[in-house]
Structure formats: structure tokens, C-alpha cells
Structure 1
């Protein structure tokens, strides 16, 4: 255990990501900055754990980022596959196996055609595919030519995807450990890395959180960071943005010991929706470099936009606004830094408006934020944000931010007309007018705004944010319960009503110690198409036969349901130990008639569900 006293708890802290790619955007940048600040300000070693098989050599990536000044010399990057393929047999024997009795997989192994001594083949990845091209098996060999791991995905019926078996091998070919799910292997690796020491694991990636919400260890405090507006990603306009892993993370936030959100507004919104609980805290993004006095006079017509060229960032709005500015005779010039799937479409848009002389695409540049040192303004035209890091970096450099007033972040950072400009969301004409305003302000007024932007950015320095994180992490450790989970065996619907006020449910709870002190329960609904999620707190009371839960889903929640939505209904029980989620049995119970286009029904499996009827208007 650490003995120093600093801003952070005196235990090892690990960060968990999927990958640190060669080029990356704001979320990975934030993780690198946060881990570096923790390491440097608290004078400690930090490890970033990555799980992707596509991760390049983590030692090389660590060195590259450190040499570029983007990662502290006290931070190192590790990867599960690099770790385990390079581990000795003795080290691998300490890897927790999910299966106590290992299955024989010898008949399915893929042998490389190396033409001689296996030591000569080096690292090899072999795959077996189905007739349709689906990967059914991946075998990985070590540098010395020995088989390291075999991953089969056609265990149920050979030749067809279904069932999984992952096996690690000693160098003599004997199996050492097996798992039937990749998440179980990830958990085993993190156990292997952390060992038995008390630690904090910061999951700084939403998809990775979907694989680690159920990673609960008495000696490890887990913290999930929310970077984005996942509620909006459920909407019809953003359908498909919320992946299965992100959905799993977002609908299990109580399973983490703590959840970090980026702004007070985001926290309040999620609390009101019932998505967050008492384990949340505001952990802002940070500026690693201290803001400084603005540089000399800048050309007020020059701007810089930095961000991924993706649908969320809505850069077509920024380009349309620049077209309007240019049409009115303004000599505006903007450099756009970043890459992404929208790059070609945006280039075509610039060409169709004859803006090539005014808008220049600079591509991905790891030092793109340096452009804020000389640019007069930047534009944020996103559909939604978590907390836009790019605004903090621009303001810290004295570059005036012009941003759509979207959820979340811009209004929490910018004071309109003082240190930047806020524009009604989606209003391209207003966006153009704001750009023109900055371009035409006198230098004295511009200098005043630049100084105000720098002052505002100082609230997000690494020192201030790290101190705040330290307080929250200490509270999370103190709050963490090591008491075994209650025995909640199931829930059964007793009665239900639906009327103008909403839905009223009476549910009998089965299990032991359900009326213990500190116990609470929520009724939870999950959209099958990842299009709806919400919870309401219910009331628990003792009855002659056990514990009864009463809960009301208000009419306002039903009005927010998307058309044709199908929702499954659960009970979330919270108390000592880990939260528990169970379906509600309703077979044999007569359901009320549909009301205002909403119908309750019993599924084939005998559970309570809800659907919005086609064409209904609640």
C-alpha cells in the first residue's frame, strides 16, 4: 500500500480502456490527460490497461506518447494480449481460470504450416471460418512458435457460431486455463494484474464499461466515467449510436461503486430520470497545460475547428454558417483538424459552396490544439456532448468559443457574451451571426473576451480537477460495501392499473432479508431496441407473506416512449452488497385494457412487458 499523502487515495489506480490507437479523439485524450495528471501531481506510477487485440505494441505506444508530451513518464500502457502472450508459464498459472476442469481441445487446434522447427515461425494468428466467411476460431502463437491461446466460437454445433471456449496453453502444449466468455477472460486478466492489493479501477470507456459493470471485488473500487449524452443516443434521430456494450454500461450504473459525470447539469438530468443513484459525482475534464496570457494580436477572421468528422459533431452546420458569412462579404478563413467517416462528404459540401479558399481540411494532427494559440475563434456545432474538451482547450489558449447550446457542457463552461458565445441549438443563421460578431468586434473588446476565456478555463486545471477527483474517490472507497448481496429470488406481479396518471404496480418480492435496513427497490424498464430506459423508486412494506413493492410509472414517462417501443419491466433491488435485477413474473394475471396507446402484457416466458401500440399518441 502507498504511504504518501497526496490528492488521491493511497492505493494503486488503474485506468481501463479498449485501445489507445495511433490517431484518437477527445475521449482517449481525456483519459491520457487524467492519468498523467494523477501520476504527476501525486508522484505515483499509473497503468492504463487496454483489451483490444488490435492494440499496437503498448511499450512502443507508451514511448511515442511520452516523447510527444501527451503522456506522463510515470504512466505506462498495457494490453491483455501482449501481457498474456509474453507471460511465462509460471505467471500464466496464476491466471484465474473460469473452468476448474479443463476441456480437451486438441482435436480443434489450428496447426501452422511452418515447414520445420516451430521456434522459427514467430508470432502467428490463424483463423478458421465458416462457409459464409464468419470467423469460427482464432489461434494465437507466441514469438517462440508455441501455441498461446485458442478461441473457439462454434462450441455448441461445430461449423456454426454458438458457444465459446477460450483456452490458454503452457509452452509444452498443456492447457492452463479456460473461459466460456471473453468478458470472463478480461475479468481474470484484471484480477491477475491487480492481484490481492486494494486498488481503484477507473473505466474510462463506455463500451468497456459494458463488459465490467459486473466486475465486483471486495478490494477493488470501480469507477465508470460517462463521456457522452447516452439518453439522446436512444432517440430516433440517433438510433444505432448506442452500441450493445454501451447500453449494458448505461443501464447498470448502480453496479459500479462510483460513476463520474462531466457536468452538474448532466448529473441532475440523470438523477431526475432515475438513471443515476447516490454513487455519482461530477468529475470534470481537465486542462493539463496551465492557461497563459493570450498571445499578441490575432486576425479576427481566422478560426480553427478541432474534432472528429462524425455525425455527432454536425460540421455541416459549421460549413453552412461559414457559407453565409462569406456570402455577406466577410473574408473568413477556417482550418478544420480531424478525420472520420464524414470527411469526404464534408469536403464535397465545401466544394459545392465554392469555399475551398476559405475552409481547409488539415486532417488528423496530434498537436491540433496548438492552432488555438493563433486562431481568433472556434466553432462547436455538435448535436450533443458530454463536456467538450475542445472548448476548454480553446478557452485556455484565448480562442473565443462559439457553440450551440446543446446538452451537455457548453452552457456549463461558457458565459454568453463574456468569455464566448452560445447559439440556439441547430440555428445556422444564428451561428453565422455569432461568427460575424467575433470577426467585427474591436480589438479591445476581443482582448477582454480572450482574457475572460482564459480565466474561466482555470477552473478546469489539472490541479483543481485532481483534488476534486481525490475527494470523490475517497468517498467511493468509504461507501463501498463488502457485505454479501441479499438473496432476491424473484418478483411476482399482484395487480396493475393504467389510467390518465400512469401505471400503478403491486409486486410481491421473494427472498431473504428483503426488509433489512437500507433496502430500496426500483421498477425499471428497458427498451428491446435500446430506445428507452428509465426507473422509478418504489415503496417496500412488510406483509403477512413477505415484502410488497408498490410503484408508479407516471404518465410523463409513458409520453416519452418512442413509437412501437417494446419494453421489458424489471425490479432493481438495492441494499447491502451488489444490486440485483430480476424480471417480474405475471403469468395468469389478467391485464388491464390498453390506455392512451400503451399496453401491458405477459410475454411467452411469463414476464411483464409493455408496448406502445402503432400509431398511438399518448
Structure 2
């Protein structure tokens, strides 16, 4: 791994966690062990006891030599001590600590002392944070514009005597100050695993800091319209700004391709799957509990554990093949799943086992595993299951299974959401002769080797090298202008835009031919679509004839709205943009299909 400080960035670190946190902790340990670089895991919440969390995670093996957990609120006293004094000219007009407040205050739970002030309707208006010795550390007002009315943020960091040192107009400003404190002048590598922290981390721009955002889940609510389907709420906040990160890491080629079709490939995305440490001593021929299946998943609607339960019920109802299922995880659907188990009368063969930190050893004793989610980015449990010789049976969902499993060779992929076919596949697998089951286990274990820690860490190191060089290329200055443009709507609704563009370097000649993109952005919306030129022809010195094609799914996705178009030229890490002009045409054409399917046109 490259020199410098390495960080993993999340919002908080609970003691009970699922896939994304597990993947982050494992990658951090792998960076330390195979990359030779210690990793600090950064957390920003103010309500967890991190001394206890560190102890527990270390005891359970989730933290190891070379990995540590840092917390903003634990570090703030040290940060404040290192400051030279109050901001020059700072008047701190918003400073009104609760010691000056005569109204009611509430003591908040947590490892550090905190007092809060609320409005009569329960709206939070202020939180004061204190050091262990009782001195004021930070006063955080949410009513800076007018006391008593929610609006305006003011965070004031104080010295050991409770006197103001620094003012921040937003929590993000405070977060960036902590990052500056940690980084200094050395190279720093941030791998961001949490979508909430991604929003403010994208604003931390430093020459010596490289930011990677790892996409841990599907960015689409459903896949009804393919790449142009509706973004999840969290993706709506992050994905339109992916170009603010030095690197965006996808876990599968399929998801990367869908995002490229939506936003274009601007050169900052990479595919790096999750890794696992693999047990060389696992013997695929060791006798396992006959018919035992495992599902490791949060008990949520998205994971659809109810499909697995119904499939197990179908297997028992339609055959004499012995079968059972242990589901490991917790979630909002536990009560509903317990009721389903009771209604189907499968309580003797289906068990909800709750959270377990030993799922890996469970895979080694089970015959098969199930994955029934609506979507994944890359289900880590697939590799864990295969590494243990436990044959995975999964729905054909985006994204993940098809990137890992060769169906019928090292696992099975069945039709998305089809419980009957899932049951048939379980039944067919359990009926296979033992030698054929062993062959599947061997193939699964061999496939898992492709995701070994040493292999994936080496790929991370190479990506980091590439991104550092890309970030530190000499910038180039240029402008782009459009001399003419035209458009047409082709059969099927495909929108084509044709442009004649002039690229003009400001100082020296460009080191390479620019890449050209056209963006289609809906007004008053965050989302947009960006396509790379399907054709770029050099017409002369700096003159290019460009052609852009928008898939009909993209235009459908933005309806109803008014959209604006822009041309974007990128070269050597620099970018120039201009709005797309259109010369008025005195003749307006409206083409439509008659009720008989014939083409007609309205001229106006």
C-alpha cells in the first residue's frame, strides 16, 4: 500500500452490525496485514462508548494489530488544546452557553456529558458538550438566527476554561477541522463506506488527501427501467456528485456499467470486490449436517427471508428430502417471520437464530446457503459461503450473484422472486449424489480464492497509485464553445444531439484529445443523465463534430420536467463546460403515431 495515513470513514460503529460494517472492518484489517499500513477507522457520532466498543471488537477479532477506532468527540479536547488562540477578530456573537440559560435543560445519555435545550414543541435548539472535568468543550446552537426559533447553525469550540476559540457555521465545518487535524501535510487516503459521511467528505478537498467512495448497495429502488430506474433516497444525495471523489469503487462490473450508462465514465471509477480471508484447511468432503441451509441476512423486507421460509416449506411438503434452515440476523421483520413460521408449521425445521459473530463456522457445517434479497451491491455472504464449501443458492438479482457464481458449477442462480423455482433448486441440490455435491463445493472454494485478501489488497494498492498520479497531473486550462447544434428524435424515442465544438487551450496545447460528454439535467432536481460522445470527428485545429445519443429510458425517467443540456469537455483532469445553444426554427414539428400506428406530423 502507498505511504501515508490510511483511514476508513463511517458515521458510527455499533457492536452489532451487518454486511457493510463487516466489510469495512475486514478490509481495514486486510490493509494492515497484507498492505503493511495501519488503518484508523473514523467515527463522528457523540453517543456511543468507544472505549467499550474497542474492547469488545478487539476481543471478538474485528480489530487487530494495525487497526484502531478514532472518534471526533474524543479527539476534540486535544484539537482545541493545539489551537494558538481565538480566531483573530472573532466576536463569537452567537455564543450563548446553557450556563447563561435560565430555562429548562435536559441531560443527554452518552459517554461524554451533554446538556440540551428544546423548544416547547420538542424541536432541538442547542446541545452543549463538556469535557470529563466539566468544562465546556463545544456549544452547538440550532437557533443562531433567532433564539428560540429553529434556524441557523453555530458551533463554537472552547478552550479548557470554556472560552470561545473557533466558530463553525455548520457541522461539516467542524468535521473538516478534525480531518485537517488528523492529516497534516502527509499523504492521506480516505476510504468512505457510509453514504451519510460521503456527503460532507466530498467537500474535503486537499492536494494531499485522496477520497474513495465505496458503493456497498444497489443505488436503484427497483430495476424496472434498467439503468434509468429511480434512485434510492440515499443515492439521490450522493450519486449526482460522484465526480467530486477521486475514486468511486463498485463491487461488481454490472453496477459500474449501469452507473456509466447513467452518468458516463469520466475515469474515476474502479471495480474492486470485497475480500475475505480464506481457510486453507477447509475440507469439502467433511460430512455436513444433511439438508441444513444457512441464511445470513438482516430480517428486513429487502432481504425477503420469508421467501426462504416458504421455499423450505415447499421442499418438505413435496418430497422426503430432509431439509432445515437457520437464519442469522435481526431486524424489523422478526415478528412477521415468526408468525409465518407458525402458520406454515415449520417451527421444527426453521429457526431464527439472531445475530451471530460466528456465521463463518456455521457455513462450514451447513450444506447450502440462501440469498433472496431484492438487490445487493455484492453480497459478501456469497464469498464467505463459497470459501467454506457451502453451496450458495440465490435469486438472480442486481448486483452480485452473477459476478461470483457460475450457475450449476459452483452454486445456483434461480429466477428473481420465484419461490417455487427456489424450492425446486434446493430440492434438486439435496438430491444430488454425494460426489456431485462435493464437486460443487470444491468449485465454490476455488472460485472464492479470486476474492482472497492478498489478491484484492494488491488491486487496491494499484488503484491508489493510479488515482494519486491522476490527481497530481499538471492542470491544463482550456475553453469549449459550440458553433452549431442540432437534434432529432429517432424511432423508439432515442434523442440524438449533434454539435460542432471548438476547444481552445488557454496557455499550452492540450496533452491529449479531450473526452466529450453531454448532460441532460432536469430543472429543480438533483438528478441528471450524462452520455459520452458516440462519435467524435476531428474537423480541424481544435474543431470537433460530436454526436450524442440518449436512451429513451433516460428521457422517460425525467418526465414530467423541463430539461437543460450542456456540453462538457474533459482533458488531463480538467473540465470545461458550456450550455447547449439552439437556433430558433420558424417551423415547429410534432410527430406522432395515429391510432392505426401510422406516422403523422403537425406543422406550426
Matches of 1:128 and 1:593, distance apart in 2 = 62
Matches of 2:285 and 2:229, distance apart in 1 = 43
- Paired residues of 1:493 and 1:586 also in contact (CA < 8 A): no
Residue 405 of structure 1, CA deviation: 1.6
CA-to-partner distance for each residue in 1:435-472, whole Å, 9 max, x for gaps? 11122112111111111111111111111111111111
1:41: which partner in 2? 34
Greater Cα radius of gyration, structure 1 or 2: 2
Farther off after superposition, 41-50 or 500-509: 500-509
Matches of 1:235 and 1:187, distance apart in 2 = 39
1:27: which partner in 2? 20
Map 1:214-233; keep pairs closer than 5 Å: 214-232=203-221
Matches of 2:577 and 2:89, distance apart in 1 = 28
Matches of 1:350 and 1:593, distance apart in 2 = 61
Matches of 2:230 and 2:332, distance apart in 1 = 15
Residue 136 of structure 1, CA deviation: 2.1
- Paired residues of 2:229 and 2:557 also in contact (CA < 8 A): no
Q: Which runs of 5+ in 2 are unaligned?
A: 104-109, 594-604
- Paired residues of 1:305 and 1:335 also in contact (CA < 8 A): yes
1:125 paired to 2:114? yes
Map 1:586-597; keep pairs closer than 5 Å: none
1:69: which partner in 2? 61
Farther off after superposition, 295-304 or 458-467: 295-304
Q: 1:436 to 1:580 in 2, by over 3 A?
A: farther
1:300 paired to 2:290? yes
Residue 236 of structure 1, CA deviation: 9.2
CA-to-partner distance for each residue in 1:457-494, whole Å, 9 max, x for gaps? 11111111111111111111111136569698x99998
Q: CA RMSD in A?
A: 3.9
CA-to-partner distance for each residue in 1:489-535, whole Å, 9 max, x for gaps? x9999877553341537699999949955554533345689795421
Residue 374 of structure 1, CA deviation: 0.7
1:556 paired to 2:527? no
Map 1:357-506; keep pairs closer than 5 Å: 357-481=348-472, 497=487, 499-500=489-490, 501-502=494-495, 504=497
- Paired residues of 2:5 and 2:188 also in contact (CA < 8 A): yes
Matches of 2:167 and 2:589, distance apart in 1 = 51
CA-to-partner distance for each residue in 1:128-149, whole Å, 9 max, x for gaps? 2233322122221111111111
Residue 336 of structure 1, CA deviation: 0.5
1:158 paired to 2:160? no
Matches of 1:344 and 1:164, distance apart in 2 = 41
- Paired residues of 1:59 and 1:78 also in contact (CA < 8 A): no
1:82 paired to 2:71? no
1:355: which partner in 2? 346
Farther off after superposition, 103-112 or 277-286: 103-112
Matches of 1:385 and 1:154, distance apart in 2 = 40
Report the 3-state secondary structure (helix = DSSP H, G, I; strand = E; otherwise coil) of the residue aligned with 1:138.
strand
Q: 1:69 to 1:152 in 2, by over 3 A?
A: same
Residue 270 of structure 1, CA deviation: 2.6
Matches of 1:187 and 1:350, distance apart in 2 = 49
Residue 590 of structure 1, CA deviation: 10
Q: Which runs of 5+ in 1 are unaligned?
A: 1-7, 115-120, 598-618
Residue 256 of structure 1, CA deviation: 1.4
1:18: which partner in 2? 11
Q: 1:428 to 1:581 in 2, by over 3 A?
A: farther
TM-score of the superposition, structure 1-length normalised? 0.82
Matches of 2:548 and 2:65, distance apart in 1 = 54
Match of 1:311 among 301, 306, 325: 301
- Paired residues of 1:384 and 1:407 also in contact (CA < 8 A): yes
